Chains A and B, each alone.
Chain A
Amino acid sequence: MSDSTTRDILNLTLQGIAGSPGIAIGKAYMVEQEDVDVVEKRFIEPENVPGEVKRFKAAVKKAQKRLQSVIKDVPKEFRDHIYILDVHRMLLKDKMIYNGTIEQIERENVNAEWALKMAIDEVKSIFKKMPGPYFRERASDIGQVSRLIMDNLLGTGLSNISGIDKRVVIIAHDLSPAETTQIQLEKVKAFLTDLGGKTSHTGIIARSLEIPAVLGLGNATQIIKTDDLIIVDGSAGIIILNPDEETLTRYQERKDLFEEYQAMITRSSHLPAETTDGFHLTVTANIGVLEEVVSVIDHGGDGIGLYRTEFLYLNRPAPPSEQELFDNYRDVAEIMAPNTVTIRTLDIGGDKFASGLQLAEEMNPALGLRAIRFSLRSPEIFETQLRAILRAANLGNVRIMFPMISELDEIVQAKQMLNQAAESLEKAGIPFRADIEVGAMIEVPSAVIMADVLAREVDFFSIGTNDLIQYSLAIDRVNKQVAHLYQPLHPAVLRMIRRVVGAAKEAGIQVCMCGEMAGDPVNLPVLLGMELDAVSMNPISIPVVKGMVRIMSLKESKLFLKEVLKQSAAADVIKLVQDTYGASFQKAAFSQPNQD
């Protein structure tokens, strides 16, 4: 199938991963015109070899200068990426790439592009053979470095990102941190990439800026050309190339509806989320840095259901001091008061990476030394954090939550540590709050099974669905091969949630959900039927979820849940949700609820 025949098809639909919701209609803008993989091989005359080498050296020099200036201009919020950029800058001159390419040109009498591709392929194959994901991932760094040079050789390059003069749909094979930080975001209608998933850099940026994105499209860059007309449906994770009049009109209407709805719910986001029959659902936010508090307030969050505290520990040589942590927690608590702030203790490990703390490379980080296991093994780091939280609790409405509890003893030990921290503050005469509420994250199947026992030891449960689904269904949701099997509405997942809620109600403690599942309106009828006390999500999802709650009734949701629990497969549940609530979602301008 040649490019031209594929591209002449009207309404050619490509399925990717829904990276960031919303609909965009616009002209495509290819960030890199040539992929490293489609470079042409040309033979050159021996007398032109020195000239070709010179051309390559100039391209490297230009790439170095470019990176240097990018490093200089990196905005504050992206400072974390500087070390990556600096390693990239050194890699440009690495002998395996630099000398390797020059040797190829001289030995084979080939063009610089081809020689570079050969050198890069060689390096990549070395990396790919290495054990451990950290080293394998470096192959992607090498790819990005080679593209910096290749872009200069081919006369394309990063500069075309900052030179965009109209609002476009950005399409790229992959976007590196260097490129993402360069994009003038006001010119971007949507992001499309061949690689990447929900948790990729591009996905995170797109969601926080509320720009639609479809990622993991596979070979989209080989099909789409700059200036092609594209419809991007970031909610369904699909793009439509060369739409006909009818499709265009349909999506234009959908886009208007979506935006109208967004505007409507944003206006009403500060009102409580109360069902038509008077049930009040607390809708809180998940945040990772202090600065996000502004967004929580803007989007009408009823508090913070999950404050991830890892950020202050990342990319630094030593863990933060108690004072630094206290200042940070106090700020969050004071801004959010009188609303609750739930601080989760350190959840280092798994997909996160702390350079300041010495962590062994593990075969299965998700099953390794992380979260509460790590904290209990590092009493000094843990106690510092506990003291800071106890002190902040004195100045706001703060709760504490322990991540990844898998057995009773972990809660018992963590509470002992908390008591010790309180005693040490008491002795030192530092003000703190002694009767702080303590919660357990329920995100490991063993904790689900033992929920009735765990409930006796804590004041609340918070169901972390991202990990719970991952551990229960044995799905790595970052792995594209199996990501489609990651199903929040899987009957097994629903039965587990029901069990946890039941145990909490039995013990008379609060239960909330803070995974991504809670932020997707498609799951709301089921969650409402379960009678969770609170749901916590990405701040930008709050208005949509609150808006949905207001058009639903608790009574109907409970009846609906009964039907749902009779289903035997995820697909049946999804169909039932769609048949029953499809019209409500349509009204809310959501696309097919078949995406996570």
Chain B
Amino acid sequence: MSRKVIIQNELGMHARAAAKIARLAEGARSNVYIVKDGEEADATSIIDVIALYCPNGAEVVVKITDPGDVKVLNRIARLIESGFGES
């Protein structure tokens, strides 16, 4: 199960933003991934997520592996869509 989202904030996926995602992903039952251009990053790893290099406007996919984590999926998607609450 996955959702496509666009990076909204001007700075893109920076350390603090990745930290916010990691905190949400840590609450999941199973693995959560951020996917960009076919490359998968473990959403609980700040480094992995930053290393995807997602600037403003980049299209990423949030992917869960356990249907029970759909809430986590939605929360991460909303976080990204809201520009990480930076505006």
Contacts and interface: CB of A to CB of B under 8 A. Distances in A.
B36 interface: no
Interface residues of A, number: 27
Interface string A347-362: 0000000011011110
Nearest to B12: A361
B51 A90 contact: no
A132 B55 CA distance: 10
Contacts of B16: 83, 87, 355
A427 interface: no
B66 interface: no
Nearest to A89: B19
Interface in A69-112: 83, 86-87, 90-91, 94-97
Interface in B1-40: 9-12, 14-16, 19, 22-23
A142 B50 contact: no
A134 B11 contact: yes
B42 A95 contact: yes
A131 interface: yes
A575 B12 CA distance: 49
Contact of A360 (B10, B19, B51, B53): B10
A90 B46 contact: yes
Contacts of B51: 126-127, 130
A358 B15 contact: no
A91 B87 contact: no
B85 interface: yes
Contacts of B53: 130-131, 135
Given A130-B53, A360-B56, A361-B12, A91 B47 contact: yes
Contacts of B42: 95
B45 A95 contact: yes
A95 B15 contact: no
B22 A138 contact: no
Given A87-B19, A90-B22, A359 B47 contact: no
Contact of A359 (B11, B46, B55): B11
A370 to B, nearest CB: 14
B83 A358 contact: yes
A91 B46 contact: yes
Nearest to A98: B45
A526 to B, nearest CB: 41
Contact of B9 (A127, A131, A358): A358
Contacts of B22: 90, 94
B69 to A, nearest CB: 18
A138 B50 contact: yes
Contacts of B9: 358
A46 interface: no
A141 interface: yes
B10 A359 contact: yes
Interface in B38-79: 42, 44-48, 50-51, 53, 55-56
A95 B48 contact: yes
A356 B44 CA distance: 25
Given A141-B15, A358-B10, A96 B47 contact: yes
Contacts of B11: 134, 358-361
A123 interface: yes
Interface string A475-502: 0000000000000000000000000000
B13 to A, nearest CB: 9
B40 to A, nearest CB: 13
Interface string A561-579: 0000000000000000000
22 contacts: A87-B16, A90-B23, A91-B46, A94-B47, A95-B45, A95-B48, A97-B47, A123-B47, A126-B51, A130-B50, A134-B11, A134-B14, A135-B14, A135-B53, A355-B16, A358-B83, A358-B86, A359-B10, A359-B11, A360-B10, A361-B10, A361-B12
Given A90-B19, A127-B51, A361-B11, 17 more contacts: A86-B19, A87-B46, A90-B23, A94-B45, A94-B48, A95-B44, A97-B47, A126-B51, A131-B53, A132-B55, A134-B14, A138-B15, A138-B50, A356-B86, A358-B11, A360-B10, A360-B11
Interface of B: 9-12, 14-16, 19, 22-23, 42, 44-48, 50-51, 53, 55-56, 83, 85-87
